[in-house]
Amino acid sequence: MAPEKLPYYIVCRPYWRCYYANTDAIIYVVDSADRDRIGICRDELVSMLEEDELRNSVLLVFANKQDIEGAMTAAEISTSLGLTRLKNRQWAIYRTSATKGEGLHDGLDW
């Protein structure tokens, strides 16, 4: 597939590493309405958390699009991402709706 036809998130992934140095916190946004890609989200998160430069970073997960009917709950996302299995890392998950501005301040205040 030609690079210009690839989804934006795939094209940008290799550049994430450019921002790892001196990172104190990771904010990871999950589309709660997209059950089909939660496995991809988990794999990407696990890959990031294995990076040596991020070993001391706290993790904030925004379970976004909570305003959409049928969206996964924060508990479902937590389980799907394997957050409860994280050892030696402080983490939190917050239900959010970016379009309504709900939950964002709670997470950032954490």
Residue numbers belonging to the annotated binding site for GTP: 64-67
Which residue is it, tokens 């049928």?
Answer: 70
Long-range contacts, stretch 7-16, CB < 8 angstroms, 24+ apart: 13/44, 16/48
Annotated binding site: 64-67
CB neighbour class for 62 (10 Å; exposed up to 12, middle 13-18, buried from 19)? buried
